[in-house]
Amino acid sequence: MNFSLLSFFRKGKNNSSGGEGIPAEHRHDREQFQEVLQSFQATRVEDRLQVLDLFLSQERHVTLAELMKIIADRRPELLDQAFLQETMNMFCQFGFAQRRNFDNKDTLYEHLHLGRHHDHLICTKCGMIQEFHDHILEERQLTIAEEFNFHPLQHKTEIYGLCDKCLSHRQPSLPLYMAAAGERVQITNIIGGREAKRRLTGMGLTMGADIEIISSSPSGPLVVVVNGTRLALGIGVAGKVMVTHASKHEKHEKQNSDN
Ligand SMILES: [Zn+2]
Ligand SMILES: [Zn+2]
Ligand SMILES: [Zn+2]
């Protein structure tokens, strides 16, 4: 199995080698950061090391606001947004942290562990982030770049979707206007009389049809793709069409059992 979940390695404290239960990797990072700060004659070295300790104690992706909350709790004397932002910028600049911007949401910071690359699965409903590393995917990406005579320097692979929990809590059926941009749904029912159904059928909106949501805003029309055609639907029409999220896995299982 080449699919390894990095958070599994990151969570355990088994890799600590003595000290106060701090993983050796983090102690090493702390020493290096101290050296870097001293060589640049940075101000407030001790304070910045305390911020690094708190940041490294978080085995997840955190926003600046979340980090401020942790600091307010544990080291209230360091609570100063400008100082914290400057310190986070230093972590990123000197290679102890990296920024992530998933789906244009708030900037997240995560540890940068040397020599270890990972990619992400992101739940668009609850924001859950799962890290993974897959060497076949990594090699395949390099091969693709080579085929295009492209010289890759770095990459970020992000897979958006629903986590298991959100998928199991999804409503069996919801009106089409409640689906979000980027989602793929399937029509489960059409509400309305024969005339409405006839009109919708004429547009390709039939039972079981796959729909991809291009954009949805409360003010404008809902833009969707059905059978390769873009449709702009008003809320009246979008309220008559009931849909469900089509799970890729479920689809695969269905196709396999059909064969
Ligand atoms: Zn990768
Ligand atoms: Zn979720
Ligand atoms: Zn990550």
The tens place of each residue's pLDDT in the chain, 259 residues long, gives: 334 444 433 443 344 444 567 788 889 999 999 999 999 899 999 999 999 999 999 989 999 999 999 999 999 999 999 999 999 999 999 999 999 998 878 999 999 988 888 999 999 888 899 999 999 999 999 999 999 999 998 888 999 888 999 888 877 788 998 888 888 899 999 998 888 889 899 989 999 999 999 988 778 889 999 999 999 998 888 889 999 986 666 544 444 444 4
| 34 CA → ligand 1 middle, Å | 30
Give the domain CATH number at 209: 2.30.30.90
Domain of residue 62 covers 3-116
Tally the domains of the chain.
Answer: 3
| 102 CA → ligand 3 middle, Å | 11
Note whether 24 and 103 are same-domain residues.
yes
Note whether 100 and 186 are same-domain residues.
no
List strands edge to edge, sheet with 210-215: 174-175, 241-245, 184-190, 210-215, 222-226, 229-233
Note whether 89 and 13 are same-domain residues.
yes
| 176 CA → ligand 3 middle, Å | 33
Contact partners, residue 158, CB within 8 Å, separation at least 6: 102, 119, 120, 122
What does the pLDDT read at residue 252?
45
The number of the ligand nearest the C-alpha atom of 133 reads 1
Q: Is 118 helix (H, G, I), strand (E, B) or coil?
A: coil
Sign of CA dihedral 84, 43, 110, 56: negative
Give the domain CATH number at 123: 3.30.1490.190
Note whether 7 and 112 are same-domain residues.
yes
Hey, what amino acid is at 7?
Answer: S
The number of the ligand nearest the C-alpha atom of 131 reads 3
| 49 CA → ligand 3 middle, Å | 22
| 192 CA → ligand 3 middle, Å | 47
Note whether 204 and 250 are same-domain residues.
yes
Give the domain CATH number at 109: 1.10.10.10
Note whether 182 and 247 are same-domain residues.
yes
| 246 CA → ligand 1 middle, Å | 26
| 129 CA → ligand 2 middle, Å | 9
Q: Ion ligand 3 — residues with CB under 5 Å?
A: 110, 131
What does the pLDDT read at residue 20?
60
| 36 CA → ligand 1 middle, Å | 28
CA 168 distance to own-chain centroid: 19
Note whether 161 and 178 are same-domain residues.
no
* Cα radius of gyration (the chain): 24
Residue at a domain's end among 116, 137, 153: 116
CA angle 218, 223, 227 (to 5 degrees): 150
Using CB atoms within 10 A of its CB, is residue 164 exposed (0-12), middle (13-18) or buried (19+)? Answer: exposed
List strands edge to edge, sheet with 158-161: 3-4, 129-134, 119-123, 158-161
What does the pLDDT read at residue 79?
94
Q: Is 116 helix (H, G, I), strand (E, B) or coil?
A: coil
Q: Residue 41 region, left (φ>0) first, then alpha (ψ -120 to 50), else beta?
A: left
Note whether 209 and 226 are same-domain residues.
yes
| 153 CA → ligand 2 middle, Å | 31
What does the pLDDT read at residue 107?
94
Note whether 17 and 106 are same-domain residues.
yes
Note whether 72 and 96 are same-domain residues.
yes
Residue at a domain's end among 83, 116, 149: 116
Q: Residue 111 CB: number of other CB atoms within 10 A?
A: 19
Note whether 111 and 12 are same-domain residues.
yes
| 249 CA → ligand 1 middle, Å | 22
Contact partners, residue 102, CB within 8 Å, separation at least 6: 108, 120, 122, 129, 158
What does the pLDDT read at residue 250?
53
Give the global pTM.
0.68
Pull the structure tokens for residue 245: 């999220």
| 178 CA → ligand 1 middle, Å | 33
Residue at a domain's end among 145, 169, 193: 169
Q: Is 210 helix (H, G, I), strand (E, B) or coil?
A: strand
Note whether 72 and 98 are same-domain residues.
yes
